[in-house]
Amino acid sequence: MDLDRFAADAPSDDAPGDARVCVVATQEETFERCRAGFYPAPRSYDRTRADFDYMAFYRTAPVSAVTHYARVVDRTEQTRGEPGPMDEADWAALIDPFSEERVVVIFELDDLVPLERPVDNDLNGVRGAWYCTVADLRTAETLSALRESTETGA
């Protein structure tokens, strides 16, 4: 796929440099939901209570890098079987492999913003949640460099 042809349609990377970001790992199915405007996390995860305005996404495949971030516009809870952004297929793909929890927090996202330069994996990926600033994302070339400026959590 020619990603360059979509560059003109990408939102500008104009977030404040000091804005707090939660960096999370996403498999392709989860990343596609982020493109659709939401990221779910089991309510028991610390990130559902942490204070941040943006989320950044470490993509496990096909690139093994942090490639995008998005502004969090809202957080809502959804219980399995009740109406919300997630349907049963979403629960099966995004929550069931990782947790038996019946309540998730849905981070509703603005459009994904591609980083000018992805943060490449030179470690073992991102585990849990890392917290940094937008400026940290823009300047780190590798996960090692990003990790030096982060706090970690679940």
- d(C-alpha 111, C-alpha 127), whole Å: 24
61 Cβ neighbours under 8 A, 6+ residues apart = 27, 28
Domain residue limits, the chain: 18-151
Q: Give the pLDDT of residue 12.
A: 86
Q: Give the pLDDT of residue 11.
A: 83
On the 0-12 / 13-18 / 19+ scale of CB atoms within 10 A, 17 is: exposed
Residue 5 scores a pLDDT above 50: no
For the domain made up of 18-151, give the CATH fold.
2.30.130
Average pLDDT score over residue span 26-33: 94
- d(C-alpha 106, C-alpha 129), whole Å: 15
Q: Give the pLDDT of residue 123.
A: 86
Summarize pLDDT for 67-116 with one digit per residue, the tens: 999 999 999 999 999 999 999 999 999 999 989 999 999 999 999 999 99
Summarize pLDDT for 103-130 with one digit per residue, the tens: 999 999 999 999 999 999 998 899 999 9
Res. 3 pLDDT band, cuts 50 70 90: very low
Res. 151 pLDDT band, cuts 50 70 90: confident
pTM here is 0.89
- In this prediction, what percent of the chain has a pLDDT beyond 70? 92
Q: Give the pLDDT of residue 83.
A: 94
- CA 59 from chain centre, in angstroms, equals 9
Res. 153 pLDDT band, cuts 50 70 90: low
Average pLDDT, the chain: 91
Residue 29 scores a pLDDT above 50: yes
